[in-house]
Amino acid sequence: MIQPADIREWRNRDVVDPKGHKIGALEAVYVDTTTDQPAMVTVRTGLPTHRFLVFVPLDETVLGPDYVKVSYDRARVRKSPSIGTDDVLPAEQEEAIFHYYGMAYQPGAGGERQLARR
């Protein structure tokens, strides 16, 4: 599994799909609040005049010397829920990301968020 201590080194690495197609640049890592393990990343993508951040889970991720290879294809990731490059993920949109990727969403017992940006 990927070690949380390495998170700072990931920023701005290329994020590629299983076939090696570039999706974008890694912007931020989100950890699961119950385990504090990396769970998702945001990827900076779009045109130079209109950039946005898309979310992608880190299951079956491979770290290379200058890339992060995710297990989802580029087209699927680019259609995932997104936020603006200066925005913060609203709590009410968190569940939609999990559902988009077919993952179970488990907020904390007190309604706490499942993801936290690191």
pLDDT-derived band at 106 (thresholds 50, 70, 90) equals confident
Instruction: Please name the helix (run of DSSP H) or strand (run of DSSP E) that holds residue 93, with its range, or none.
Output: helix 91-100
Q: Check if the beta carbon of residue 107 is closer than 8 Å to that of residue 34.
A: no
pTM to 2 decimals? 0.87
pLDDT at 3: 56
Closest to 81 in 3D by CA, of 93, 72, 68: 93
pLDDT tens for 35-83 read 888 899 999 998 777 889 999 999 888 888 889 999 999 999 999 999 9
pLDDT-derived band at 92 (thresholds 50, 70, 90) equals confident
